[in-house]
Structure 1
Amino acid sequence: MKPDPRIRATPRPVRIAYLLEDGADVHQWLDAIFADCFGRDGGRQSLVVPADNGSISNRYQEWLRILDPDVVVVLTYDNDAYTSVLVGLLADTEIVQQARKRDEPVKNPRVGVERHGLSSISWIPFLKARSSAFQGAPDLILDCYPAWKDDGFIKDNFGTLHDSLVGFPIHEQIGMRGLNLVPKDAPDDRWHFRSMGAEDLTDGYELLDRMLQSGGVTTLSQLSNLNCQPHRPDHPWNEKFCLVIGDSFTDRVSCWNAGLLFGSATSQPYKTLRVPATNRFQGDIGSKIGNFLRKSNWIGQQNGSARIAVRSSSLTAADVQEFMAKVQATGMSNVEFEVIVSIDDCCPPDVTRIYSSYELGRTNPAIAEAQIRDPSTFVSAPNPLQLNYCAGMNPIFSRGFWLVDMKVDRLHDCSRFDNVRDVWMLPNRSQLARMLHPSSVARILRNGFTSIWTDVSMPHIEVKQPNEKNLFYSILCGTGGYLRSDMRASKVLPPPYEHSAISDKGRYLSGTLDMFGSLNNFERVLSNHFWRSQFLNMAAPARNKYIEVIDFLKARLAKNGKLVINDDAGWLRLAERVIQKSRKLSIPRETTNFEWLLADWEDELTAAIDADAHMLARKSEILADAPEDLEGALSFLFECGAFYRGHEWSCRRCSHRNWIGIAELKEQMLCEVCRHGHQLPIDLELDFRLNEFFSTCLREHDTLTVAWALCALRQESRHSFIYSPQTMLFRTYPENPSRESDRELDVVCIVDGKLLIGEAKVRVDLIRESDLADLAAAVTELQADTAILAALSGDSGLMEQKVKQLRMLLPPSIEARGFVCGWDEGPSGFL
């Protein structure tokens, strides 16, 4: 019933965040950041993260983590101080840097990354092709003459080709007329290239009136914000148009980041504007802005006039009162003043209320799919939506990179649902993406999926199905690998362990699960109280005789209720008594048969019926079906090999108990010891014997405890569950195969992209302080996401105390959890 495994590939723009520290040249750096973002597809959704003295505020950390940028550009005075913060905060993100010195301000900084994103002008053919009677095709694009000086209104809000794109002028290449900002005294022969029908503006604020006239005018700000909003935050700021007045670092960053709180520019091109502080005194500027917003702003119009919030951190309400009055008079909007108290004010107040963006009428991105049939599969690299309109046009439209997010089904999965297939979701390890995409530059996203850097020269993407053994080996013993441009590339530390291998207990677990066919089948059978009790009674009948053994040892060895051993003779007496008692303990009941099982099943089923009012009304009907239900369950157990059938008989001459498998039954059978013949009974009833390997696992190797812990953790998974059997770790490669390991892990699994490492015991009270210390050390060394304590039985309150002790040994970034087996110990009502 499982669907065929598939690969789904979705294109998206490159996501870049900038970590910027305030200083003497911070405004030059902001100019460079904004210009770089306007020139890149999706660049208007780039986050500027303020840094201060080696720290990032908690709210910006959470926002940065949710956005999960592909590249972080670090622009501080001590870049190394922020590395550890970023590594713990982000997934497999490339971290690059630009050096800054407090005493050497940079006049013309550049922040371009090595693999530049697809240009924002790639949207121009799309806008022209999708024009309609309600939205004309763009004809003019905002540009500027190099000698034109800006007060900050254009570079913060709209951007120009000259500042953002290399190769000025390019109007003819992109088929657009330039709407050029020029000085009032610009020479007539200023153009060295033919400028096709260009129009000139001498005042940046004239642009607002020009955009309201007939004839499409577009800007890089609009183009860089089309169809690219990755998230939709809940924030009071996105209920009003954000109009910021002021020139401080806080003003500029707050206005820019406020743009990330709104949707893309698909329906309303502009949702934020920053106005330099000095321009609030110029009466026509306030009127022009108000008129522009009256015709182009619809935010907050659901219950009346559109709403505008004038915000500032450097000015007071009195400072902007006159300006606000003019905006309100011409804008016919509800205008309010709000103080920007902190640079954190624009951050989403609650990251749990940040949702994947969804817009009505939004064009779905092109998604490529391929069916997985082999360990290696090729899927077509899908183009971003706008590139479908750039075919045959100037290559400048399709120059640059984009990312392709991959969702890859697992060919061999262990999903607990028959109609759902697990996907590959990997923990945050830079080297793991190469296991799925060995021939591509790839990264792991925050959600555990992978993403591939792609351009037009890459028509196909290779996707491999990793070997799970190699995957966990790389996690436990691999070395992180970074691109040469990454600032961490020269600081990679060797792994704490050089080798890992499946332990003896792990091999028993693998064999048991292979016998049942899957973790699903194991859980379905062993979670049933009837079968669990039958298996344990046959494999380890002495498991419930602790009290009897304790009373025996007390009676034979203890004095005044205390057992004291202080010499070799005392130890010898203890050994003799243990051996004496072990001989008298019940040996495993090696065989059973259908009649015995049916009697036990009817007793258990009757107890379950009597405890359930709904079943009690159908008691006779349910009991009548008991033999048929038992036959169906036994059929599966015989098929998987948990039980096998044969005939057990005692020799009349030597009393040896013989066993003959069903395939070897014949009329005359010889005793294995004395070779005396035995006639096959006429009324033969086959006996059932428990698989000795399975019996040994239950009795001696604690297989049931670890398998239950894996089943319990798998129940929590939503999309992906990958596990490894018990694993040994070696700090140095073991030249001697018999060498003891340095550490052994009971539980190792990946749940929805999070690495979990745990300790599993039969009872809670068996978890010692040394076990907690070992687990905490292993989890910290291996940088796991969660430490797990699991017990098959015991008090849940005691488990909570153990978890508290464990949490105190772990760093804050690692979660600690514990749980006790939840399998029902009451009588089973079904098989």
Structure 2
Amino acid sequence: MWENSEHLTISGLARPLRVAYLVDLERDAERILDAIFAEAYGRWGGRRTLVVPVLATGIDSRYLKWLYVFDADIIYSFADLSDEAVAYLHETCGPAHLIKHRELSAKTGEVLRYDIQLPISSLLSLSVLPAFRARSWGFEGPPRDIKVLETYWDGSDTPFLRENFGFPFISYSNSEIAKKHPDLFTSTTLIGPNAYSDPMQGKDAHATYLTSESDVLSALGQAGGPLTLAQISDWFSPSWELCVDLRARYTHVVVGDSVDDRLAFWNVYQRLSRPSFWEIGALRIPKSYVENELLFSKVAALILQRGMRGHDGCVRVCLMSCSMDEECLGVISDRLKRSGISTIETLSISSHAVVVPPLNDQEKVTLHTGGMFAEPIQQVSAEFSSSRAPVPAAAPWHMTEAVPPAGLRHGQWMIDLTVDRALDHGRFDNQRDVWIFPRRIRLERAVRIDRDPTARRVEAVHSLRVIRTGSLALANEAGAPKVSISLPEDLAAIRRGLCETLEWVPFDRARSDRPRGRVRVAHAEVSDKGRYLMGVIGMFDSLSSAFNVLMNEFWREELQRLGGVPAEKATDLRNQLIKRLRRKFSQPSGPLNFSDDDAIERLATEALRAGRMIDRERRYVSYGQLRRRWGDSVEAFLAEASDGTEDPDADAYYRDDDRLARSLQRLCQCEVLFQGRDWRCPRCFNRNWIGIEALSRTMTCAVCAREEPASVKGDWQFRANSFLVEAYRDHGTEAAIWALWRLWKGWSRSFYYAPSLRLWRERPANDRTADIEVDAIVVVDGRVHLVEAKSAAKLDSNEIDQLITASKFIRPDVLVIACMDAETDGLKRAVEKLRSKLEVGVEVQLLTFDPGELEPGQFLS
């Protein structure tokens, strides 16, 4: 219902693949970090990879918020994780892949190698060089003689150069990559003296060979010196803006050899604003370099030439260490100052976690490009055709600016998708609902991705994930076949998520009992209560229109007068029944007693008779009555809003009863109300209702067929749709609508829901009673709300147990107790009991009814 496919769009934003590594710092961390740095340097955007330490008790809690904000597409773990930790990471971080490193057995006497195999192959960092070469970035024109630091395959690399700058040979395991693209770049290669003097080694004729680490440092410290993978891997790469409470335009120099020092060196880079092309954002200097005067002077000259500069044009350095005290850092600072670096700050940090950003306002952490690059964010849009749309082929800016050669454009990037919702529940005409998916229920499993079945790659299907903002993301690559996407209906998506058995790829592929998701239900279907809710809301043009009427103070009171009162609130009818029973059973006071079967049968008869009397009650209202009551509400509003002065024009606007007439017409058009006449037959005394569509000059009694001339006096009369009255009276529909309305008022960009559902733990056979029934599941801006809607302030122990069980299967973010009554002590105790028994991570929200929150009765839509 309400679907309008006109101008529904899907937009895609290209960005790098984001990878986070989990590392046990007590288990071969030095060599694992070597492997991580090498892999990251070879990947576009890889310099801003996050490394998270894992302790014996689990992931270091100081990094959890950063890991969530970082929003990794792949979480690659070198540490064991418990099943609960795996489930937690999937629910909070939502990676496309959370996998454990597979260790290959080493032969006797060999050292174990850490070959990282990401499940999604990333675009190479060297792919940015054609775009760099194609433009002028200064006054000298486009760069032509591009050199990249490399090492020869003879093992001549050094830990300092490998960690701080990277080598293509180590990152790509390919010594021929520079040879194949001499027109694009050449290499400045570190080579051992023996290999350099050996003519049989087959060296690259275009390369510049250097035989010592000192020579390499000298080359790097010269103007126009070679570029490094550490720099290139950050070029033209949208990244998170984390420049908070730290020196964003400083080169951060970490001194020391501890694992904490190495981890701080790597992660602090994400706190920096983007360096310019030749600037170096972070360095780690080992103690041996501090003690070697020659190498230290070379590093100082390198920092002076290529350190990050402030607005004054001077190099600025932040000197930090986890393993050295302030006094030692002060000595090193003095030595750097003597080399010409004037602005130096020292920072002795207690651990690697000092570089973790505070991230107090996570919503402000957004993707950005900056500095002298200022490349535009690559965003492409497409339109839906029916329920399907092509996935926008957004590509990284550097791939569109200058297409890399075939050998350098291999690999994938991610596309973040913003998708309009066909079923728009938005509150504002100028802001359309978009799809924002939760992570605690895998609704994205209901999204259909169609790709050419003959295509050579299908990674897009397996890389679909929900990013931190709730949008979808999937991988793409150059030359990939076109992909289309189909979005599900709300109810189908929520039912699929509740019954999904394969929520994620197994973490440890070596385990036979590896979990693939949380325990969910086997079957879900709409209950009778849910069908009534869908039917009532479906009478209106939109959800907003339904709320504007059903949650309007004036129309709510009129619907109650027309019979839409829940049984729990029908006080007058209850009192009438009790009075009748006391008279029938001759028990004028005290508790009513039904001591034998005959009394119980008479009780049942009287209850049935009372129910039939409700159906025979006269339930209509005249236009004059409506006009009078609405006019009274308008006058009360004007009296309250009056400041002692009169404004005839404004008062006339509010008193204009055409607004009431227009609202009545709309309600009759959508059959919430029926317009007609009620008349009593003078022969059989039957009360007849004649709708406006059946009016003629003659009226016929439905019982005795007596004909009467049509009445010529009196007002139009209106009665409520019997389906709506029944839904309100017998099925608690008003409480469910009110709960939806309260949540809808907190909507920002996305709102959708499933009505009351019956849930089975095992697939039902025949008509087996459901194990659980829930009143509604509502997704508001990606947060899952499990709703229990009550007409009265009661929540018994059985209902509490049902809600606890339901929350274990549904995994909501919020359990909402929505009570259309005043708060009572008993209700508060029940809510506290719920809070104490629910799993960690489930918030309990109590909503109680306040008539003053309803839409004002004088404003009718």
Q: Distance in 2 between matches of 1:586 and 1:117?
A: 69
Q: Distance in 1 between matches of 2:598 and 2:644?
A: 61
Q: Distance in 2 between matches of 1:423 and 1:271?
A: 38
Match of 2:447 in 1: 435
**The residue matched to 1:345 in structure 2 has which SS?**
helix
Q: CA deviation at 1:254?
A: 1.0
Match of 1:129 in 2: 134
Greater shift after overlay, 306-315 or 220-229?
306-315
> Is residue 2:682 matched to residue 1:675?
no
> Is residue 2:290 matched to residue 1:280?
yes
Decide whether aligned partners of structure 1 residues 708 and 540 sit closer, same or farther in structure 2, where only a CA change above 3 A counts.
closer
Give the TM-score of the pair, scaled to structure 2. 0.89
Match of 2:676, as an amino acid? G
Match of 2:420, as an amino acid? D
Q: CA deviation at 1:699?
A: 1.6
| Structure 2, unpaired ranges of 5+ | 452-459
Match of 2:457 in 1: none
Q: CA deviation at 1:704?
A: 1.0
**The residue matched to 2:702 in structure 1 has which SS?**
coil
Match of 1:480 in 2: 502
Decide whether aligned partners of structure 1 residues 412 and 224 sit closer, same or farther in structure 2, where only a CA change above 3 A counts.
same
Match of 2:683, as an amino acid? R
Q: Distance in 1 between matches of 2:298 and 2:517?
A: 58
Decide whether aligned partners of structure 1 residues 625 and 608 sit closer, same or farther in structure 2, where only a CA change above 3 A counts.
closer
**The residue matched to 2:485 in structure 1 has which SS?**
strand
Q: Distance in 1 between matches of 2:713 and 2:82?
A: 85
**The residue matched to 2:712 in structure 1 has which SS?**
coil
Q: Distance in 2 between matches of 1:176 and 1:558?
A: 103
Q: Distance in 2 between matches of 1:573 and 1:615?
A: 63
Decide whether aligned partners of structure 1 residues 349 and 639 sit closer, same or farther in structure 2, where only a CA change above 3 A counts.
same
2:378 and 2:395 in contact (8 A); partners too? yes
Q: CA deviation at 1:277?
A: 1.4
> Is residue 2:787 matched to residue 1:758?
yes
Match of 2:355 in 1: 346
Match of 2:822 in 1: 794
Decide whether aligned partners of structure 1 residues 504 and 191 sit closer, same or farther in structure 2, where only a CA change above 3 A counts.
farther
Match of 1:785 in 2: 813
Match of 2:467 in 1: 445
Decide whether aligned partners of structure 1 residues 614 and 217 sit closer, same or farther in structure 2, where only a CA change above 3 A counts.
farther
Greater shift after overlay, 8-17 or 338-347?
338-347
Correspondent of 1:520 among 539, 544, 560: 544
> Is residue 2:94 matched to residue 1:91?
yes
Once the two structures are superposed, residues 529-565 of structure 1 have per-residue CA deviations (whole angstroms, 9 ceiling, x without a partner) of: 1111001111147824278459849977889865666
| Structure 1, unpaired ranges of 5+ | none
Decide whether aligned partners of structure 1 residues 462 and 535 sit closer, same or farther in structure 2, where only a CA change above 3 A counts.
same
1:152 and 1:276 in contact (8 A); partners too? no
Match of 1:219 in 2: 228
**The residue matched to 2:852 in structure 1 has which SS?**
coil
Q: CA deviation at 1:499?
A: 1.3
Decide whether aligned partners of structure 1 residues 25 and 134 sit closer, same or farther in structure 2, where only a CA change above 3 A counts.
farther
1:77 and 1:101 in contact (8 A); partners too? no
2:220 and 2:226 in contact (8 A); partners too? yes
Q: Distance in 2 between matches of 1:786 and 1:141?
A: 53
Match of 1:731 in 2: 761
1:139 and 1:216 in contact (8 A); partners too? no
Correspondent of 1:743 among 744, 757, 772: 772
Once the two structures are superposed, residues 354-403 of structure 1 have per-residue CA deviations (whole angstroms, 9 ceiling, x without a partner) of: 62143366212321211113111214422211112443x53111111111
Q: CA deviation at 1:223?
A: 1.0
> Is residue 2:202 matched to residue 1:172?
no
Decide whether aligned partners of structure 1 residues 57 and 800 sit closer, same or farther in structure 2, where only a CA change above 3 A counts.
farther
Match of 1:69, as an amino acid? A
Match of 1:159 in 2: 166
> Is residue 2:16 matched to residue 1:13?
yes
**The residue matched to 1:213 in structure 2 has which SS?**
coil
1:424 and 1:449 in contact (8 A); partners too? yes
Decide whether aligned partners of structure 1 residues 248 and 710 sit closer, same or farther in structure 2, where only a CA change above 3 A counts.
same
Match of 1:775 in 2: 803
Once the two structures are superposed, residues 127-162 of structure 1 have per-residue CA deviations (whole angstroms, 9 ceiling, x without a partner) of: 111233347625110001223444422122110111
Match of 1:114, as an amino acid? P
Q: Distance in 2 between matches of 1:644 and 1:106?
A: 84
Decide whether aligned partners of structure 1 residues 416 and 527 sit closer, same or farther in structure 2, where only a CA change above 3 A counts.
same
Decide whether aligned partners of structure 1 residues 191 and 771 sit closer, same or farther in structure 2, where only a CA change above 3 A counts.
farther
**The residue matched to 1:233 in structure 2 has which SS?**
coil
Correspondent of 1:387 among 384, 391, 399: 399
Q: CA deviation at 1:494?
A: 8.1
2:316 and 2:341 in contact (8 A); partners too? no
Correspondent of 1:328 among 331, 334, 337: 337
Match of 2:741 in 1: 711
Q: Distance in 2 between matches of 1:324 and 1:546?
A: 87
1:268 and 1:296 in contact (8 A); partners too? yes
1:3 and 1:421 in contact (8 A); partners too? no
Match of 1:369 in 2: 381
Match of 1:535 in 2: 559
Decide whether aligned partners of structure 1 residues 345 and 660 sit closer, same or farther in structure 2, where only a CA change above 3 A counts.
same
Correspondent of 2:691 among 661, 671, 682: 661
Decide whether aligned partners of structure 1 residues 139 and 414 sit closer, same or farther in structure 2, where only a CA change above 3 A counts.
same
Decide whether aligned partners of structure 1 residues 209 and 192 sit closer, same or farther in structure 2, where only a CA change above 3 A counts.
closer
> Is residue 2:841 matched to residue 1:813?
yes
Match of 1:111 in 2: 116
Q: Distance in 1 between matches of 2:281 and 2:694?
A: 83
Q: Distance in 1 between matches of 2:103 and 2:218?
A: 40
1:173 and 1:394 in contact (8 A); partners too? no
- What root-mean-square deviation, in Å, do the aligned CA atoms of Structure 1 and Structure 2 show? 3.2
1:3 and 1:419 in contact (8 A); partners too? no
**The residue matched to 1:344 in structure 2 has which SS?**
helix
Decide whether aligned partners of structure 1 residues 494 and 808 sit closer, same or farther in structure 2, where only a CA change above 3 A counts.
closer
1:719 and 1:752 in contact (8 A); partners too? yes
Greater shift after overlay, 8-17 or 451-460?
451-460
Once the two structures are superposed, residues 86-145 of structure 1 have per-residue CA deviations (whole angstroms, 9 ceiling, x without a partner) of: 334421430122246999994432113132200000011011112333476251100012
Q: Distance in 2 between matches of 1:253 and 1:494?
A: 33
Q: Distance in 1 between matches of 2:222 and 2:353?
A: 37
2:446 and 2:496 in contact (8 A); partners too? no
2:434 and 2:749 in contact (8 A); partners too? yes
**The residue matched to 2:265 in structure 1 has which SS?**
helix
2:757 and 2:775 in contact (8 A); partners too? yes
Q: CA deviation at 1:508?
A: 0.9
**The residue matched to 1:294 in structure 2 has which SS?**
helix
Once the two structures are superposed, residues 425-448 of structure 1 have per-residue CA deviations (whole angstroms, 9 ceiling, x without a partner) of: 222255724614244322222222
**The residue matched to 2:389 in structure 1 has which SS?**
strand
Q: CA deviation at 1:180?
A: 0.8
Q: Distance in 2 between matches of 1:338 and 1:67?
A: 25
> Is residue 2:621 matched to residue 1:592?
yes
**The residue matched to 2:99 in structure 1 has which SS?**
strand
Match of 2:325, as an amino acid? T
Match of 1:709, as an amino acid? A
Greater shift after overlay, 50-59 or 552-561?
552-561
Match of 1:645, as an amino acid? Q
Q: CA deviation at 1:758?
A: 1.6
> Is residue 2:150 matched to residue 1:143?
yes
1:430 and 1:443 in contact (8 A); partners too? no
Aligned residue pair count: 827
